[in-house]
Amino acid sequence: MTSPFTLNKASMGIGEGLPLNACGDSLEDLRKGIQHLMDIEAIKQLKHAYFRCLDTGNFEELETLLHTDLKVHYTGGDYDIELNSRQEFVGAMRHAFNADAVTRHNGMHPEIQILSETEATGIWYLYDHFWSLPQQRLTQGTALYWDHYQKIDNRWVISDTRYKRLYQINEDLEQTPNFVSHYLGEQK
């Protein structure tokens, strides 16, 4: 098993962003510095909302987090998915995240780079579980996400999202777990 490239910022297309330091003595410089931090926080909230919307099947809100011309490339141990629009992506997620799935996605350790007032990049560490109830299968693992963001009408959206699995375990289950709570299953 070989990886097609080394996972580093250069191979992910992630360059250096604007410096994250206080500079200048004017109120305008202070305002720009605060806006920089607010943009980083807004992007963190955007990505956390993305994971929440997946796990709760909230596709209407998910659409609002994504650029119309969204590009997606997810590479796992047994899949390689490329999608080329928000509509195509949300359709695929509707198919996967439904009453037959129990999911958990944790995105952590954000490395956000603000490139300009309207562009940014981010790297995220993913830890997830996906139970497919009809197949009695659990997929779990970790991945590195790398995203590009655009600020449109004063709101950040995801314009390009990719991940590469660091590890993936597929486990066939002898029986369906005894979930005492199953949010997506309750949404039928």
d(CA 119, CA 152): 10
Q: How far apart are the first and last CA of the chain?
A: 40
57, 101, 114, 136 from 176: Cα distances, Å: 21, 11, 44, 6
26-186: CATH class: alpha beta
3-class DSSP string for 78-94: CCEEEECCHHHHHHHHH
pLDDT of 2 over the 70 cut:
no
Tens of pLDDT, residue by residue over 7-65, are 888 888 888 888 877 677 788 888 888 999 999 999 999 999 999 999 999 999 999 99
Tens of pLDDT, residue by residue over 104-159, are 999 999 999 999 999 999 999 999 999 999 999 999 999 999 999 999 999 999 99
- Among 108, 93, 118, 102, smallest CA distance to 145 is for 108
pLDDT at 187: 81
Average model confidence (pLDDT) across the chain = 93
Whether the CB-CB separation of 107 and 124 falls below 8 Å is answered with: yes
Predicted TM-score (pTM) of the model is: 0.92
Do the bridges between strand 119-132 and strand 101-114 make them parallel or antiparallel, or are there none, so unpaired? antiparallel
pLDDT at 5: 64
Domain boundaries defined on the chain: 26-186
Tens of pLDDT, residue by residue over 77-106, are 999 999 999 999 999 999 999 999 999 999
Whether the CB-CB separation of 126 and 110 falls below 8 Å is answered with: no
Q: Give Cβ neighbours of residue 180 (< 8 Å, ≥ 6 apart).
A: none
